[in-house]
Structure 1
Amino acid sequence: MATKTDIRRDIRQLKRMLTDEQKAIAASKCFSRLEQCQEFIDADRILVYASLPDEISTDEFISRWYGRKQIFLPRVNGDDLDILPYRPGDTAEGAFGIDEPTGSECRDISEIDLVVVPAMAFDRRGNRLGRGRGFYDRLLHNATCPLIGAAYAIQIVEHIPAEPHDIKIPTIVTDEETIRIQQYGISNS
């Protein structure tokens, strides 16, 4: 069985093989699927990640929905993530080279209607493998809103070793499918 380190290494290698065109097409397909989810349709306040170069890009999604929905981005604050409103031109490169909001209007996770969650990998049981620092596990620990993972199809793996503190993601959208993890089984569309 693959370790978390093995999975991260393998996914990094697979993502490096994607061309810029493949990445752009995949992001468009992935976020088109997300926009069809009832959780997205019902949400007014959406927390979405500012994508790193190796993550499925959120740039077009953020641009398209800014002004139509309230968009929030995370900002690293020590070992935690703060939630701040997104405003074009009001971001700066923060921790880990990620664009982060520069404002001071921090919000609580309870004010968010939907969280779009990044990952290194997901499995079909809703397990998520992040980059290893636990930022999203800590942020989402008390979340009651829907969580939707966004990833390339190549980031769906057979099994991710899960620990008690790991947060499960009940819906995952990729460029190829929407995976819904239900209490008694899995639904794909």
Structure 2
Amino acid sequence: MKKDDIRRSVKARKTLLSDDDKFSAAEKVFGLLEQTADFLLADRILMYHSLPDELSTHEFIRKWCGRKHFYLPRVNGVNLEILPYDESRLALGSFHIEEPTGNDMSAIDDIEMIVVPAVAYDRSGNRVGRGKGYYDRLLADSRARKVGVAYDFQLVDEIDSEPHDVRVDVVITESNHIIIRKR
């Protein structure tokens, strides 16, 4: 399936979700994530600070921020910078996403797990992002465990991938925990 077709389809499905649906899905997905060995063993985790149409990360970050070191991305030109999460140091940044402020950037090599946002995933770990390539550029340089989280309907049969696309290692939805076998 073509990426633009997937984006349109998923966007339409998201408009049908109630607040209760969104809350319940986030609770299930992050409940599954926090039971994984990858999460339990990781100390330095790059999260995304969710937009209203994404699976919400806010409660999950608040729940674990005293026990894990969370980081958030900040857009800088065509790349993402990584900064420590501090709820008191967030400001509205690019694309109306709350981003960390300050200059205390971290290297991608310091991160043990990356929770990756996407419009959709397939069972091979391919992902459709929003089309700007920010995460592909970031993930290309990372050895961290890459975990995609999504609503069940964001898991599609197949995604047309391109050479620059970076796959995730794991996909977790409300009712799926898929570990991707390396090729």
* Fold shared per TM-score above 0.5: yes
Coordinate RMSD, CA, aligned: 0.9
- Write the letter of the residue equivalent to 1:113: E
Q: What residue number does 2:95 align with? A: 96
Greater fraction strand? 1
1:11 aligns with 2:10: yes
1:108 aligns with 2:103: no
1:155-166 counterparts in 2 under 5 A? 155-166=154-165
Residue deviations 1:65-111 (CA, integer Å, cap 9, x gap) = 11111010000001000000011211001000000001210111100
Equivalent position SS for 2:34: helix
Residue deviations 1:25-79 (CA, integer Å, cap 9, x gap) = 0000000011011110110000000001110000011100111110100000010
Take 1:49 and 1:109, find their aligned partners in 2: how far apart are those partners?
14
Q: What residue number does 2:50 align with? A: 51
Take 2:52 and 2:87, find their aligned partners in 1: how far apart are those partners?
19
Take 1:72 and 1:153, find their aligned partners in 2: how far apart are those partners?
26
- Write the letter of the residue equivalent to 1:145: A
Percent identity between the aligned chains? 49
Take 1:103 and 1:58, find their aligned partners in 2: how far apart are those partners?
21
Take 1:9 and 1:166, find their aligned partners in 2: how far apart are those partners?
20
Take 1:9 and 1:133, find their aligned partners in 2: how far apart are those partners?
16
- The total of aligned residue pairs comes to 183
**TM-score, normalised by the number of residues in structure 1:** 0.95
Q: What residue number does 1:69 align with? A: 68
1:71-86 counterparts in 2 under 5 A? 71-86=70-85
- Write the letter of the residue equivalent to 1:89: S
**TM-score, normalised by the number of residues in structure 2:** 0.98
Equivalent position SS for 2:71: strand
